[in-house]
Structures are given as C-alpha cells and as structure tokens.
C-alpha cells in the first residue's frame, strides 16, 4: 500500500516534517503546552481538564529531546503520519497526478497546520480520528476479528485524547445503524471499554472531577449573539481561511453514495450542528470544531479531482493561505516580524529568567495562574511552582495533585496581581506586570473541603445550615488560622460579593480540624443586598490568604 505512493509525495511529506521540527525547536511554548508539560511530570491515567494522551506524547518526546522539541517532537511525528493516513482514505486513481494540490489543501488549513507542531489534546485527537476512520473504511468492506480489535483500540485512543472524541464515534455509528446488530462492532466496543477502563477508574477515584468541570464548572457568561453564535460561524471560516467557500461547497455537493462517504458527511454535519446548538449556551472555541478538518480533507480533495474549477481555486487560494501561514509561523518564533503584536510564544523565557534571577532557588507561588506556574517551571529547569487558586478563579490540575505539598513550609516567592506590598515587579514587553513578595514558612490548605447538601436554599433566610469540613491533610489545623466566608455568585457563577461568617461547631470543644477527618458546624447565610444571586459557595481563607474554592456552588432560590 505505502509502496504505491509516489516519491513526490514523500518529498513534500519530508519537507513538512523538517519544517515542523525546526519550528518546534525555535518557538517558545504557549501556555497550554506548558500546562501539559506539567501534566507529564507526574504521569497518571487522567488529569483535571483532560484525559492523559497529551501528557503521554510529551513524555515520549522528552525521551528524545530537551527544551521545546522535547514537548513537541511526537506532534511532528503524528502530524506527518496523519497526512499519509488522509492520503490512504482517498481512492480516486487520479490522485497521484495532483499531489501538490493535496499538500496545498492540507497545509492551507490553519489549525491543521498549527497542530502539526503544537502539542495540545487536539493533536492526538486529529491523528486518532484519521486512524479510526481509515480502519472503519476497511472494516466496512471486510469485517474481521483483527479490524474489530483495531477499531476498538482506536476508539479508546480517541477518548484518551479528548472527551470531544465521543462525537466522532457517535456520528460514525449514526451513519450506519446496522452496526448495532453487528457482533464485530460490539467486539470493538468491548475492546474500547477494556482499554479505557484505567481512565474510568481514575475518574471514580477522583470524584469524576473532569466530567464535573466540563459539564458544570467551566467559566461561562450571559449569551451574546456576537460572541457566541456569530463567533461560531467566524470559527467555521477561520479553520479553512480563504478556501472556505469551496471547502463547504464540496461538502454540500458530496453525496452519501457509500457507507464511508456517509460517515464523513455525518461526522462533519454532526459536529457542526452540535457546536452550533452549543453556541446558544457558551462560546465555542475554534479548536473544538477542528475535528471536521479530517473528513473535509477527504471530501474536498475528492471533489477537487472531479471539478476543475474547485481544483483551480482551492489551489490558488490555498497558496495565498500558505504564504500567510508561513509568515505567521516565522512570526511565532521571531516577534519583531509581527510588529507590535505579541503572542503566547513571545517573551516567556525572558520573564521566567528575570524572576528566577530575582528570587533565586525559592519555589514560586502564582496566584490564580495555572498558565504562569508551569511556564515558569519549564523555563527554570523544573523549579517547584504552585497555582494558588482563589474564589475569583477556577480549579485546575494544581487543585488535585501534590504540588501544594512541595511548597508548604518553604520560604516562597509569591506572585499576585492583587498584592499591594510588593518586594519586586517585572514588566513584560507586551505590558503584562508580575508583582511579587517573599513569604517565609508558607502555609496553605486549599484542599480543605466544605460539604453542604445540594438542595437550593432561600436567600437571606435565617435557616441553620449544616456544614461539614473535611481535612485531607496529615496535620490537624487550628481554627484560629482559618477565616470563613460565603461567596455569592450570579447565574453564571461569577462572584458578586463575599461576606465573612463564623461557623459554630456542633461540639463546643472543637478548636481544630482533625487530620483525615470531618468536622461538623452550623451557620446561617450572611445577609446580602445584592440582586441576581444564583449560587453561593462556602470558602476558607488560611493565614490571611485570599479565600479559596472549598465548597461546591449551591443554588439559591
């Protein structure tokens, strides 16, 4: 099969691989990549925000290289193989005469291009979507035990990449409901579930933290047509750049004349429809719809081979896209090319080095920044860091791992935009300011858990509320070190007001939170004059730090 691919194809393929390796080496990390690098420092079957595949890729890359390429090398490899898989999905015998058109089509797709070297959860998602679809293509024609097992493995790999992968599996199944009665299809499901069992167990052990975050706790806001729904349509254009009219025309013109084409069409329309509906509830990020690039490469190229006008215009517009993308890619590594525009890849090594020169080998605590904490650690050779998340932010991987233990009882540098008594500051070239101070013998207890019944409560009532506080630490915590408050939030869980209260222990002799135990209290909701209150949560401040995220949001009637 691979031997039939012309040498010209391998020439273009090698050129793209080398370009991506060079780009990876000379472009600083973006914040999400640093966060996933942080994942890889403590390998697990799951993480707060995502399944573990992205961390696994970073870990493999680190075996071969250091620095940025040690984060991105496997992305370069997978994206290169992905191009081959896409080529193999196309059956038209004329395709060998239009190799350069195929590469222009792929390279001109903005995010498909970017994920050729960036290491993000969508990188393996794209790769395993192609693996899954190509295997399904052969499975349709010849249902064997080997293909069934392989299909199951790729379904599990998809789900290990990103939870959105369920859309790929669902819409392909929807395109061929006869699979419900197919024993080989069911075998694939069994294999996938067995392979995915370790992640299910991790979710169970961690109180379904990832599922709860994505379904209930992600930041959101009031609906805006411009930001949400119109923004969704802008994303549909941005994914393909100037070629978008012809890409979508190819989709409209393609008929589901066989099961594989039908799967591609269902997958594309299904993802678009799903996120269109989602856009009425939340802002749809561009990368969420990137899955459609895989079926649309196959659909668009097949259409190009049958339509000379589409072939000509996609090639011409794709060349323009390519030139723009190459210019921007150079700008990712060399900021002056972008004039006054600064992106995430600019200046990170510089600010991390500057703070390191100031604070020395002290661990650094970043308040409310799961982005800065891993970036600093990456560019300072693994300096211990911690993201201290408070009630104005959200939980993340630092909320559930052991990073807090590494900095407790240490003399730390504390970086916070809320701090007023700063010892040092650093101003980035893009205008961002880091403010810091030194804290000796740092103490935080962000994992203290405030437990209330989930039933809705009446605002400003005098009802006595039972509060349970679980102390997961190996030390007893004196109540005099703690302050308690209620944070009132609107319907979108945005904090509106935080009011202190003093809980009454059910046992009057209680003076501390016993280690690895639950302590019982009673309290009344503090009175508030704020309107449009939708939720509240109980929060704790330890040692005069800003209140944390200790309780779940509880609805207000």
Q: How far apart are CA 106 and CA 92, in angstroms?
A: 17
Residue 551 DSSP label: B
Mark which of 306, 335, 364 sits at the end of a domain. Answer: 335
Helix, strand, coil percent values for the chain (each to nearest 5): 55, 15, 35
Condensed to tens digits (0 to 9), the pLDDT of residues 58-95 reads 999 999 999 999 999 999 999 999 999 999 999 998 99
Structure tokens at 251: 């989709």
Condensed to tens digits (0 to 9), the pLDDT of residues 357-388 reads 999 999 999 999 999 999 999 999 999 999 99
Question: Looking at the predicted structure, is the pLDDT value of residue 540 above 70?
Answer: yes
Specify whether 206 is located in the same domain as 277. yes
The helix/strand/coil state of 364 is strand
Condensed to tens digits (0 to 9), the pLDDT of residues 224-242 reads 898 899 999 999 999 999 9
Average pLDDT (192-205) is 97
Q: How far apart are CA 71 and CA 57, in angstroms?
A: 8
Confidence bin at 355 (pLDDT 50/70/90): very high
Q: How far apart are CA 305 and CA 307, in angstroms?
A: 6
Question: Looking at the predicted structure, is the pLDDT value of residue 26 above 70?
Answer: yes
Residue 381 CB burial class (10 angstroms; 0-12, 13-18, ≥19): exposed
Residue 474: CATH number of its domain: 2.60.40
Residue 189 lies in a domain: yes
Q: What is the pLDDT of residue 226?
A: 87
Question: Looking at the predicted structure, is the pLDDT value of residue 247 above 70?
Answer: yes
Q: How far apart are CA 156 and CA 286, in angstroms?
A: 24
Residue 342 lies in a domain: no
Condensed to tens digits (0 to 9), the pLDDT of residues 116-164 reads 999 999 999 999 999 999 999 999 999 999 999 999 999 999 999 999 9
Condensed to tens digits (0 to 9), the pLDDT of residues 449-508 reads 999 998 889 999 889 999 999 999 999 999 999 999 999 999 989 999 999 999 999 999
Specify whether 407 is located in the same domain as 469. no
DSSP characters over 171-196: HHHHT-GGGGG-HHHHHHHHHHHHHH
Confidence bin at 1 (pLDDT 50/70/90): low
**Block residue for tokens 């730390």:** 412
Residue 62 lies in a domain: yes
Q: How far apart are CA 82 and CA 69, in angstroms?
A: 19
Q: What is the pLDDT of residue 169?
A: 97
User: Worst-scoring range by mean pLDDT, 2-6, 352-356, 451-455?
Assistant: 2-6
Q: Phi and psi of 408, rounded to 5°?
A: -65, 140
Instruction: Give the neighbor-by-neighbor strand order of the sheet with 412-415.
Output: 385-388, 364-367, 412-415, 433-439, 424-427
Question: Looking at the predicted structure, is the pLDDT value of residue 514 above 90?
Answer: yes
Confidence bin at 203 (pLDDT 50/70/90): very high
For residue 58, what is the enclosing H or E element? helix 53-64
Specify whether 15 is located in the same domain as 113. yes
Please check whether residue 83 is in contact with residue 90, taking contact to mean a CB–CB distance below 8 angstroms.
no
Average pLDDT (190-200) is 98
Q: How far apart are CA 195 and CA 177, in angstroms?
A: 24
Q: What is the pLDDT of residue 219?
A: 67
Specify whether 236 is located in the same domain as 148. yes
Give 386's strand partners: 365
Specify whether 327 is located in the same domain as 471. no
pTM confidence score: 0.94
Q: What is the pLDDT of residue 431?
A: 82
Specify whether 410 is located in the same domain as 460. no
Average pLDDT (270-283) is 94
Question: Looking at the predicted structure, is the pLDDT value of residue 340 above 90?
Answer: no
Give 449's strand partners: 470
Specify whether 291 is located in the same domain as 377. no
Contacts of residue 183, defined as CB under 8 A and 6 or more positions apart, other chains included, come to none
Residue 498 lies in a domain: yes
SS (H, E, C) 314-339: HHHHHHHHHHHHHHHHHHHHCHHHHC
Average pLDDT (411-421) is 87
Residue 264 lies in a domain: yes
Average pLDDT score over the chain: 94
Specify whether 422 is located in the same domain as 476. no
Residue 340 lies in a domain: no
Specify whether 459 is located in the same domain as 390. no
Residue 470 lies in a domain: yes
Q: What is the pLDDT of residue 281?
A: 87
Question: Looking at the predicted structure, is the pLDDT value of residue 433 above 90?
Answer: no
Residue 487 lies in a domain: yes
Q: What is the pLDDT of residue 218?
A: 73
Confidence bin at 428 (pLDDT 50/70/90): confident
Specify whether 123 is located in the same domain as 190. yes
Range of the domain at 435: 348-439
Please check whether residue 352 is in contact with residue 381, taking contact to mean a CB–CB distance below 8 angstroms.
no
């Amino acid at each position: 099969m691979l031997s039939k691919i012309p040498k010209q194809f391998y020439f273009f393929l090698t050129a793209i691989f080398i370009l991506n390796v060079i780009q990876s080496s000379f472009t600083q990390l973006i914040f999400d990549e640093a966060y996933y690098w942080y994942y890889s420092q403590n390998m697990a079957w799951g993480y707060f925000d995502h399944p573990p595949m992205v961390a696994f890729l970073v870990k493999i890359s680190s075996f071969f290289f250091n620095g940025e390429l040690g984060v991105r090398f496997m992305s370069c490899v997978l994206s290169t193989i992905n191009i081959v898989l896409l080529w193999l999905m196309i059956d038209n015998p004329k395709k060998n005469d239009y190799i350069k058109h195929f590469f222009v089509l792929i390279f001109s797709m903005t995010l498909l291009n970017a994920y050729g070297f960036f290491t993000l959860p969508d990188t393996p998602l794209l790769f395993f979507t192609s693996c899954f679809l190509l295997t399904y293509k052969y499975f349709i024609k010849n249902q064997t035990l080997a293909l069934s097992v392989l299909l199951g493995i790729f379904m599990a790999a998809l789900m290990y990449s990103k939870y959105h992968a369920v859309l790929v599996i669902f819409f392909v199944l929807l395109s061929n409901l006869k699979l419900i009665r197919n024993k080989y299809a069911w075998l694939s499901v069994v294999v996938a579930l067995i392979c995915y069992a370790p992640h299910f167990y991790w979710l169970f052990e961690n109180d379904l933290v990832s599922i709860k975050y994505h379904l209930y706790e992600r930041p959101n806001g009031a609906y805006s047509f411009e930001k949400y729904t119109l923004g969704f349509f802008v994303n549909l254009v941005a994914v393909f750049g100037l070629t978008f009219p012809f890409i979508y025309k190819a989709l409209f013109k393609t008929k589901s004349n066989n099961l594989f084409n039908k799967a591609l069409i269902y997958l594309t329309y299904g993802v678009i429809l799903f996120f269109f509906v989602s856009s009425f509830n939340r802002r749809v990020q561009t990368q969420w719809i990137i899955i459609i690039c895989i079926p649309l490469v196959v659909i668009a190229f097949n259409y190009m081979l049958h339509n000379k006008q589409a072939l000509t215009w996609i090639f011409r517009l794709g060349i323009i896209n390519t030139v723009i993308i190459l210019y921007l890619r150079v700008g990712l590594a060399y900021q002056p090319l972008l004039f006054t525009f600064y992106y995430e890849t600019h200046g990170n090594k510089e600010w991390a080095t500057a703070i390191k020169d100031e604070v020395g080998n002290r661990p650094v605590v970043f308040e409310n920044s799961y982005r800065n904490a891993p970036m600093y650690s990456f560019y300072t050779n693994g300096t211990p860091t911690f993201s201290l998340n408070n009630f104005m932010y959200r939980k993340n991987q630092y909320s559930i791992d052991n990073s807090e233990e590494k900095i407790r009882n240490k003399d730390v540098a504390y970086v916070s935009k809320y701090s007023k008594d700063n010892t040092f500051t650093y101003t980035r070239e893009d205008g961002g300011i880091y403010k810091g101070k030194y804290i000796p013998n740092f103490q935080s207890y962000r994992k203290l858990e405030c437990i209330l019944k989930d039933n809705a409560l009446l605002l400003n009532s005098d009802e006595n509320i039972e509060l349970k506080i679980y102390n997961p630490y190996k030390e007893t915590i004196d109540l005099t070190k703690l302050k308690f408050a209620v944070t009132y939030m609107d319907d979108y869980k945005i904090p509106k007001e935080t009011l202190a209260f003093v809980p009454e222990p059910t046992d009057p002799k209680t003076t501390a939170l016993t280690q690895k135990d639950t302590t019982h209290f009673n309290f009344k909701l503090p009175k508030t004059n704020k309107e449009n209150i939708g939720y509240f949560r109980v929060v704790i401040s330890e040692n005069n730090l800003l209140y944390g995220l200790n309780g779940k949001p509880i609805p207000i009637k």
